[in-house]
Amino acid sequence: MDNEAIIKSTGSRIDEEVEGGIWSKFVYVWRLLYRDKAGMLGLAMFLIVVATAVFSPVLSPYDPLKQDLMAAKQPPAWSEKGTMAHILGTDNLGRDMLSRIIYGSRVSLTVGFFGVLIACSLGMTIGLISGYIGGRVDSFIMGGVNMILALPYLVFVVFIASILGRSLFNVILIFGFTNIPIFARITRGEVLRLRESGFVESALSIGATRTRILYSHILPNLLGPLITIATFEMSGMIFYEAGLGFLGLSVPPSTPSWGNMLASGRQYLTIYPWIATFPGLAIVFTGLGMNLFGDWLRDVLDPRLRRTKR
């Protein structure tokens, strides 16, 4: 069919064909990324952190736990008394700062990833039940959720953390469970919106079952908003983990984590500022990257926004 005929028959001038398959999707995502420089920067920052965590043993010059009191409190390489042996200097016990920061990313990302995994999967299930069944069940669940959300978050987390004691596993559980209400509430809102949408009504009108509507129409449309929220929540958890570490309530003190490093650097803040500064910068770097990336995801995952967003 030549172009003219297509115009006449379909009212369409689109003549080039989109090639299906993974490669074209990859190219499309790359084009979307290329247009939003902030999103690209965010993704790059996030990927750097992930790579650091994965390749920690390769990247770090020293064992992060090895103490060398002779070389304690060395400033970074570029300051007067610094040496190239310890680029970011050493802490009060002579452990290499760079190695500790590199290993610290593992704690942060583990807490963030598994915390979000627990919160998202449970929260989504609860939200789905609440929104899709509705009625009394909905009122009951949402009542509970709102009650939990009304508690002051940090106080609540600190309270539980001090009861459970310091371990990575406990920290993941705390963040996983305390963030369920947020995911549950967002899921429920989306489900309520989707349940009223035209395509769900349309699916009902062709005789689709409730199960099919749930799996084929509601779940796929939930993923976009949930992935976006998950990104923001993950950066939130990384911040709070550092906060708990600073208060001495996160992973055991020997474990290299950004929060613990902040805590140990606190008393030397005026004399040896680098001990607290570098883990702080690492936290900011990760959080900023994830938030930029999350902003971009939010725009891209909503097909309606793609065309109109500048």
Site residues, other proteins (CB under 8 A): 1, 6-14, 17-18, 20, 35, 139, 197-199, 201-209, 212, 216-217, 220-221, 303-304, 306-310
* Residue whose CB is less far from other proteins, 58 or 206: 206
CB contact at 8 A, 230 and 120:
yes
- In the complex, the smallest distance separating the C-beta of residue 183 from other proteins, rounded to whole angstroms, is 20
The three-state DSSP-derived secondary structure of the chain is CCHHHHHHHHCCCCCCCCCCCHHHHHHHHHHHHHHCHHHHHHHHHHHHHHHHHHCHHHHCCCCCCCCCHHHCCCCCCCCCCCCCCCCCCECCCCCEHHHHHHHHHHHHHHHHHHHHHHHHHHHHHHHHHHHHHCHHHHHHHHHHHHHHHHCCHHHHHHHHHHHHCCCHHHHHHHHHHHCHHHHHHHHHHHHHHHHCCHHHHHHHHCCCCHHHHHHHHHHHHHHHHHHHHHHHHHHHHHHHHHHHHHCCCCCCCCCCCHHHHHHHHHCCCCCCCHHHHHHHHHHHHHHHHHHHHHHHHHHHHCHHHHHHCC
* Residue whose CB is less far from other proteins, 122 or 208: 208
* Residue whose CB is less far from other proteins, 16 or 80: 16
- In the complex, the smallest distance separating the C-beta of residue 38 from other proteins, rounded to whole angstroms, is 13
- In the complex, the smallest distance separating the C-beta of residue 202 from other proteins, rounded to whole angstroms, is 5
* Residue whose CB is less far from other proteins, 100 or 298: 298
* Residue whose CB is less far from other proteins, 152 or 207: 207
Say how far apart CA 287 and CA 281 lie, in whole Å. 10
Tell me the β-bridge partners of 90.
Answer: 96
Tokens 């938030």 map to which residue? 291
* Residue whose CB is less far from other proteins, 202 or 267: 202
- In the complex, the smallest distance separating the C-beta of residue 14 from other proteins, rounded to whole angstroms, is 7
* Residue whose CB is less far from other proteins, 203 or 262: 203
- In the complex, the smallest distance separating the C-beta of residue 223 from other proteins, rounded to whole angstroms, is 8
- In the complex, the smallest distance separating the C-beta of residue 136 from other proteins, rounded to whole angstroms, is 9
Say how far apart CA 54 and CA 50 lie, in whole Å. 6
- In the complex, the smallest distance separating the C-beta of residue 297 from other proteins, rounded to whole angstroms, is 15
The beta-carbon contacts of 207-212 under 8 Å, at least 24 apart in sequence, are 210/132
- In the complex, the smallest distance separating the C-beta of residue 139 from other proteins, rounded to whole angstroms, is 7
* Residue whose CB is less far from other proteins, 223 or 284: 223
